[in-house]
Amino acid sequence: MRVSVVGAGLGGLALAQGLRGAGIEADVFERDPGIVARFQGYRLVLNPTGFQAVRDCLPTRWHPLLDEIVMEASAEQLVLDPRLNEIGRLGAGRTGIVVDRQVLRHLLLTGLTVHTDAALTGYDVLPDGTVRARFAHRAPATADLLVGADGVTSAVRGVLSPRTTPTDTGVRFVIGRTPLTDEFAALSKAYGSKIAGDGVSLLLGAMRFRTPPKQAAERLAPDVTLPDIGDYVRWAMILPPNGSLENLTAQDAVLARMDGWHPQLRALIEQADPDNSTLLSIRVVEPAERWAPGPVTLLGDAIHATSPTGGNGANTALRDADLLRRRLIEADGGSRDLLDAVGDYERQMFEYGAEAVRSSLERLPAFAPGAKLS
């Protein structure tokens, strides 16, 4: 069996790793001109399902390294005012496994065949049941299955399910990261909490490594090369619906909304890495219409993009990868037909994917009142 995966995000790479470990050929095609063409390194919280999924997709020899580069986290999920006084609670405390996306992505990339500058332009299902993917700047690739793991603007989805389109909630947020120095230790109460300002919310999260990732890889898995990064604070300011940057840089747009805020909060933004601060929109994709069975399917944000306020986007994509991996291994072993295996994956994925989108949208108004939910 041969599988073509379009998109080198966490879900697509986890699937490719899992298939590679089972002896199934998997090629990854990424539209970016290079693997590190854009920054993809913010802190994520994985729930038990998401963490177990990525663990199961990785070779067992890398499990000690994976355990060394994550941290357990818990947060009270308080609501604080801009002077860091407690004014409420968001709900039950949240626990999980914290991982840096950039570090995890580099681990998942190890040993895979990844073709960059490979923007999909379309695909054809051939008479023998295989599928040929066409790309703008490279030769076509033929496989038994084509998996669209290419995000909210999925080119694969555009052909497979053209009526499934993203919905823009109107909410914008600025995200960035700042080295975690002793100066910001006093902000620990705010990590995992919401700081409520005038029409905006600021969310902070600490990323502390048990061992710096580069050193951990050198000691535990010499065949893996991980980024040389240290502890940091991930911050995100959610703007009012349809808010704009007003021609300011991402960093300055946040500071412009922090008049009178606690000086340590302002210092956190002032000392952020400007190259890793950016404005993003919150768009969702709801899985609704099932497509006809065939050798093409979707994974992750390509079919169920969630609001980040749900904290379940990466978890759901990794769940997809592990479920599809298991079904394809069954098909490769001859215990079930390929289309039946893919169909079973899609039935389950549509159900929990729709729930992930719904629950993420339910939480959005707590951070951005007035967001468009449908």
Binned at pLDDT 50, 70 and 90, residue 102 comes out as: very high
Torsional sign, CA 303, 142, 325, 21: negative
- Tell me, what's the pLDDT at 39? 63
70 pLDDT higher than 70:
yes
Q: Average pLDDT of 322-327?
A: 98
- Tell me, what's the pLDDT at 93? 59
Summarize pLDDT for 163-188 with one digit per residue, the tens: 999 999 888 889 999 999 999 988 98
Cα–Cα distance measured from residue 359 to residue 357, given in angstroms and rounded to the nearest whole number = 6
Pairing assessment for the beta strands 194-196 and 201-207 based on DSSP bridges: antiparallel
Q: Average pLDDT of 113-118?
A: 94
For the chain, percent of residues with pLDDT exceeding 70: 94
Q: Is 338 exposed, middle or buried (0-12, 13-18, 19+ CB in 10 A)?
A: middle
- Tell me, what's the pLDDT at 372? 59
For the chain, percent of residues with pLDDT exceeding 90: 75
Angle at 162 between CA 161 and CA 167, to 5 degrees: 100
Cα–Cα distance measured from residue 51 to residue 48, given in angstroms and rounded to the nearest whole number = 5
The mean predicted confidence, pLDDT, of the chain is: 92
Binned at pLDDT 50, 70 and 90, residue 243 comes out as: low
List, in order, residues 6 or more apart from 134 with CB less than 8 Å away: 120, 121, 122, 123, 124, 140
Whole-prediction pTM value?
Answer: 0.94
374 pLDDT higher than 70:
no
Binned at pLDDT 50, 70 and 90, residue 272 comes out as: very high
Q: Average pLDDT of 336-353?
A: 97
Q: Output DSSP code: residue 87.
A: E
DSSP-H helix ranges across 161-207: none
341/39: higher pLDDT: 341
225 pLDDT higher than 90:
yes
Q: Cα separations (Å) of 25 from 17, 20, 131?
A: 10, 6, 15
Cα–Cα distance measured from residue 109 to residue 345, given in angstroms and rounded to the nearest whole number = 24
Strand order in the sheet with 94-100: 43-46, 94-100, 71-75
Using only C-alpha atoms, what is the Rg of the chain?
A: 21
Q: Average pLDDT of 299-322?
A: 93
- Tell me, what's the pLDDT at 160? 97
Q: Look at phi and psi of residue 300 and say left if phi exceeds 0, alpha if psi is from -120 to 50, else beta.
A: left
- Tell me, what's the pLDDT at 147? 98
Cα–Cα distance measured from residue 297 to residue 164, given in angstroms and rounded to the nearest whole number = 13
Binned at pLDDT 50, 70 and 90, residue 231 comes out as: very high
- Nearest CA to 328 out of 9, 17, 10, 7 is that of 17
Query: Please, are residues 80 and 86 in contact by the beta-carbon 8 Å criterion?
Result: yes
User: Tokens representing 70?
Assistant: 């994550």
Q: Average pLDDT of 9-31?
A: 97
User: Tokens representing 10?
Assistant: 């966490």
3-state helix, strand, coil in the chain (%, to 5): 35, 25, 40
